[in-house]
């Protein structure tokens, strides 16, 4: 008898029993940005445990990092510091996708197409499942959580640049991806965007480009200021989403919010800063901030999308030096 397909993975705005965060742990990876990245992660953890009403599981990879994390977050009951080996903090991609309160899906991880292969990243999903008490269903294909955004009703958004990249699953075509994700995550339909942000080493993760905020409603950026390097990418994504429908034929509603604009790294090159990398917590939405004016405008736009949650921004410049932001270092566990 064939195994029935699972139900859809709960949407991120559904209630959580915990929010998992990665704590920057390796000085050889972060260099001079280790301290600032730790402080940004601590501010995020405290915000999640406070106005976000989350039970935070803060994962640190070494005994030194565990001590540092405990010193920074204090001894409150809502933040638990746990030790588990990982390559780096990007648990959205290396950790499991929790498909229910006590069940998780694990996938192969190959360092975003073999760009950054670090010891511990292949095993952290199993360790998180064990620590959470969830059963881990392991699936033998490459997938990162940031490559997908789901609405909780079987609809997902992704980019061809990432999901069909030959550096992940070389033989995949759209039909192969749709079949695999239907079988493992209960996805009934995928909306295919083209490419992600410039200079994004993940090859176009969609959680920097478009996010569901409730069934049938999706947000994506609009260019902000002069010479926004991703303005054309944003417009293309908005066009595709505006023409798309769910599996019942209902058109999506698309809302656009300001991007951070042209954000440069210390070397003067464009970095993949995005307000789309926000976290939806139980009672808050926390937006990464890179430039105050655009962040304020993004918060004001998202407040309309999340009337029952407090929406605010926190700095994420140091985390971005590692290649990601708040959504990238987090993974929600449904209640």
The CA distances from residue 182 to 7, 134, 291, in Å, are 9, 21, 39
Please give the Cα distance from 63 to 90 (Å, whole number): 19
Number of H helices, E strands in the chain: 11, 16
Look at residues 201, 215, 213, 196 and name the one whose alpha carbon lies nearest to residue 158: 196
SS (H, E, C) 239-256: HHHHCCECCCCCECEEEE
What is the C-alpha separation between 13 and 332, in angstroms, rounded?
10
Half-sphere exposure of 129 (CA within 13 A, CB side): 22
Stated as kind and residue range, the H or E segment containing 293 is helix 292-305
Q: How far is CA 58 from CA 21, 96, 185, in A?
A: 5, 15, 25
Measure the CA–CA gap between 315 and 292, rounded to whole angstroms: 9
Name the 3-class secondary structure at 175. helix
Residue bearing tokens 């059963």: 135
Which run of H or E residues covers position 207?
Answer: none
Name the β-bridge partners of 142: 108
**Backbone angles phi and psi of 37, in degrees to 5:** -65, -35
- Quick check: is 328 catalytic? yes
Which of 136, 118, 102 lies closest to 25, judged by CA? 118
- Choosing from 276, 286, 328, 329, the catalytic residue is 328
Name the β-bridge partners of 80. 57
Catalytic residues: 328
């Amino acid at each position: 008898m064939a195994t029935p397909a699972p139900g859809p993975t709960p949407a991120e705005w559904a209630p959580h029993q915990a929010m998992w965060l990665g704590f920057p742990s390796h000085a050889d990876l972060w260099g001079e940005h280790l301290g600032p990245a730790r402080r940004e992660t601590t501010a995020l953890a405290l915000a999640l445990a406070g106005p976000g009403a989350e039970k935070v599981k803060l994962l640190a990879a070494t005994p030194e990092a565990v001590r540092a994390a405990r010193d920074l977050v204090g001894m409150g009951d809502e933040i638990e510091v746990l030790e588990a080996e990982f390559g780096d903090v990007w648990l959205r991609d290396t950790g499991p996708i929790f498909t229910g309160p006590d069940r998780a899906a694990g996938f192969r991880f190959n360092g975003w197409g073999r760009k950054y292969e670090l010891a511990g990243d292949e095993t952290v999903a199993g360790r998180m499942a064990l620590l959470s008490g969830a059963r881990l269903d392991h699936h033998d294909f490459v997938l990162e959580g940031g490559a997908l955004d789901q609405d909780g009703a079987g609809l997902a958004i992704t980019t061809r640049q990432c999901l069909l990249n030959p550096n992940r699953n070389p033989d995949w075509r759209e039909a192969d991806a749709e079949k695999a994700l239907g079988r493992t995550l209960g996805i009934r339909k995928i909306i295919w965007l083209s490419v992600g942000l410039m200079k994004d080493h993940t090859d176009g993760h969609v959680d920097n480009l478009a996010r569901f905020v409730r069934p049938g409603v999706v947000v994506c950026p609009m260019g902000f200021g002069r010479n926004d390097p991703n303005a054309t990418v944003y417009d293309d994504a908005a066009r595709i989403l505006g023409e798309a429908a769910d599996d019942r034929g209902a058109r999506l509603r698309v809302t656009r919010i300001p991007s951070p604009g042209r954000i440069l790294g210390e070397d003067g090159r464009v970095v993949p800063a995005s307000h789309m990398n926000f976290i939806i917590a139980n009672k808050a939405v926390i937006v990464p901030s890179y430039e105050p004016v655009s962040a304020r405008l993004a918060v004001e736009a998202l407040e309309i999308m999340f009337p029952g949650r407090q929406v605010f921004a926190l700095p994420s410049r140091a985390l971005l030096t590692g290649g990601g932001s708040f959504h990238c270092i987090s993974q929600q566990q449904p209640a």
